[in-house]
Amino acid sequence: MNITFLFLAVIAAIVAWWLAQQRLTAKPWLDAGLVGDTGASPLPAAKIGLGVFLAVVGCLFTLLISAYSMRMEMGEWRPAPVPKLLWLNTGMLILSSGALQWAQVAARRGRMDRVRAGLLAGGVFALAFLAGQLVAWRQLDAAGYYLTANPAAAFFYLITGVHGLHILGGQVALGRTMDKAWQGVAVGKVRLSVELCATYWHFVLFVWLVLFALLLLTDPIVADNGWFL
């Protein structure tokens, strides 16, 4: 549960930072009158909403990692070797995230053609990542680490599966953004959507990097060779 507490501590720090700006020591019974600043953020509500949503998703993955590490310490733990293919998949996801970052920059500069190219590339690379994950699953399955083989394998499928579903969900949002971008609306109308997609993609990339690092660190071959202290 240490990891969960670490995550909650980060959330608590953000909340504390926000609360500190809300003048919690104000004495509202004394100061009637007009207040110009209500303490609302200048960011659009959609961005705040995405931020809150990512905190929830982050909590979900943190709990999965917590469960993984708690289970790991309980013995009878035979983790699967990490398929080499995951390195390639990781590259795909980095490219996908990079493409959306590029689209976001283009949207800010008003270049619709580049926005479209970036969105398309981001979507294709993300699909490539998902396809690669499926292949990795089949490789593991063929190597005898099928779902019910042991808890370590089950965790691998569960965590990568949940992560994949989040990318799949992101594809829906991306598809809607692309739909808008291809309808020929002004760049200003899609900018927010592109920014939201890019943020989400960076987040799922970050989650993946953490998960991948976790899998590598607990990989039996890596562990035997003593890559980490």
Long-range contacts of 161-170 (CB under 8 A, 24+ apart): 162/60, 162/61, 162/64, 163/61, 163/204, 163/207, 163/208, 163/211, 164/130, 164/133, 166/57, 166/204, 166/207, 167/93, 167/126, 167/129, 167/130, 167/204, 168/130, 170/126, 170/197, 170/200, 170/201, 170/204
Shortest approach of another protein to residue 34 CB, angstroms?
A: 6
d(CA 174, CA 97): 12
d(CA 121, CA 135): 21
Position 49 contacts another protein (CB under 8 A): yes
Binding segment toward another protein, per CB under 8 A, in 11-19, 121-129, 176-184, 207-215: 11-19
Position 40 contacts another protein (CB under 8 A): yes
Shortest approach of another protein to residue 76 CB, angstroms?
A: 4
- Give the nearer residue to another protein in terms of CB position, either 55 or 88: 55
Angle among Cα 118, 61, 16 to the nearest 5 degrees reads 95
Position 63 contacts another protein (CB under 8 A): yes
- Out of 33, 144, 188, 226, point to the residue binding another protein (CB under 8 A): 33
Position 15 contacts another protein (CB under 8 A): yes
Binding segment toward another protein, per CB under 8 A, in 53-61, 95-103, 128-136, 220-228: 53-61
d(CA 222, CA 227): 6
Position 158 contacts another protein (CB under 8 A): yes
- Out of 2, 17, 45, 144, point to the residue binding another protein (CB under 8 A): 45
Size of the site for another protein (CB under 8 A): 51
Binding segment toward another protein, per CB under 8 A, in 4-12, 99-107, 136-144, 204-212: 4-12
Enumerate residues 6+ apart whose C-beta is below 8 A from 78. Answer: 150, 152, 220
Among candidates 100, 78, 69, 111, which has minimal Cα distance to 221? 78
Point out which residues bind another protein (CB under 8 A): 1, 4, 8, 11-12, 15, 19, 22-29, 32-41, 45-46, 48-49, 52-53, 55-56, 59-60, 63-64, 67, 70-71, 74, 76-77, 147-148, 150-151, 154-155, 158, 162
